[in-house]
Amino acid sequence: MNIRSTRFGALDIADHMILTFPGGILGFPDWTRYVVLEHHTEAPFKWLQCLDEPDLAFVIMDPALFKPDYRLSVPPDALGEIQSSAPEDLGLVVILTIPSEDPSTITANLRGPLVISHRTRLGKQLVLPDDVPTRYPLFSALTPIHAEPNRRQWQPVASL
Amino acid sequence: MLVLTRRRGEGVALGPDIRVVILDVKGGQVRLGIEASPSIEVHRDEVYARIQDENRVAACPRVVPVDAFHRLARRLVG
């Protein structure tokens, strides 16, 4: 399918690359279809672009890359919603919050991770207990950062 | 909004599968018991709202500090 995105222009997305969040992402219940866009560099983050709303996109990252001790168990209702029970099918990412006034203070929402089944292509945002931070600082040391505007060099990928 | 008055030990049925029971009322706090199938998500509403708010802030970032991510990647590799 061909879709239009505000950031990345026109994208041609194969059906097997589409991720569906049946319940939406919290706060955006009306939009359920997304695609992961990967950068052709070593930058360890990806985009989650909404296919139903061209302007909606999140920056996502594998939490194991910056918080190796991050552990959670996926509750049965979530496994039912994504129609998967095999741990090897599941991928886990967290959404990053990047303040435009100071991009160096990026935080990761560890309380609302996204669990995605690679087999069924279904995903769900979990809600973890309130002792898990919603704003976990990604960069421990504050170093000067030169922000780059978004570039249209992203490609859809089938896996996370 | 539907408003009902209930006493301790009484409940409210929400459809055929969900029951909310008043377990205790003390000092301005109400203890609720919720009986529902595991497929029903139950959260304190402020926890839910916090994640919704964070998603709205995170949506559509205007700039992404790619340099910083590269430095992070090098630190992870190194």
ipTM for the assembly: 0.82
Q: How far is Cα B13 from Cα B32, in angstroms, rounded to an integer?
A: 13
Average pLDDT, chain B: 88
Predicted confidence at residue B21, as pLDDT, reads 97
Predicted confidence at residue B38, as pLDDT, reads 78
Sign of CA dihedral A112, A82, B37, A75: negative
Q: Please tell me which of the candidates B40, B51, B64 has its beta carbon nearest to residue A134.
A: B51
Predicted confidence at residue A159, as pLDDT, reads 65
For A99-113, b/e burial (b = at least 16 CB within 10 A) is eeeebbbbbbbbbbb
Q: How far is Cα A10 from Cα A30, in angstroms, rounded to an integer?
A: 22
Q: How far is B75 from chain A (nearest CA, A)?
A: 10
Q: Are strands A148-149 and A136-137 parallel, antiparallel or unpaired?
A: unpaired
**A59: number of Cβ within 10 Å:** 23
Q: Which two tokens stand for residue A69?
A: 């001790």
Report chain A's terminal Cα–Cα distance, integer Å. Answer: 20
Average of per-residue pLDDT across B64-77: 72
Q: Which spans in A8-153 are helix H?
A: 76-81
Nearest to A130 by CA among B21, B44, B60: B44
3-state SS assignment for residue B24: strand
Please report the number of interchain residue pairs, chain A to chain B, with beta-carbon separation below 8 angstroms: 131
Predicted confidence at residue B36, as pLDDT, reads 92
The answer to whether the CB atoms of B65 and A145 lie below 8 A apart is yes
B34 or A68, which is more confident?
A: B34
Q: How far is Cα A110 from Cα A64, in angstroms, rounded to an integer?
A: 11
> How does pLDDT run across A64-99, given as a tens digit for each residue?
988 989 989 898 889 989 998 888 899 999 999 998
Is B49's Cβ below 8 Å from some Cβ in A?
no
Single pTM value for the model: 0.82
Q: How far is Cα A24 from Cα A6, in angstroms, rounded to an integer?
A: 20
Name B51's Cβ contacts closer than 8 Å, sequence gap at least 6: A26, A27, A109, A111, A112, A125, A127, A134
B38 or A143, which is more confident?
A: B38
Predicted confidence at residue A3, as pLDDT, reads 86
Predicted confidence at residue A24, as pLDDT, reads 95
Question: Is residue B18 a contact partner of residue A99, using CB atoms and an 8 Å limit?
Answer: no
Is A5's Cβ below 8 Å from some Cβ in B?
no
Segment-wise mean pLDDT, segments of 10 residues, chain A, 160 residues: 87 93 95 90 86 94 91 88 88 93 86 96 92 87 49 63
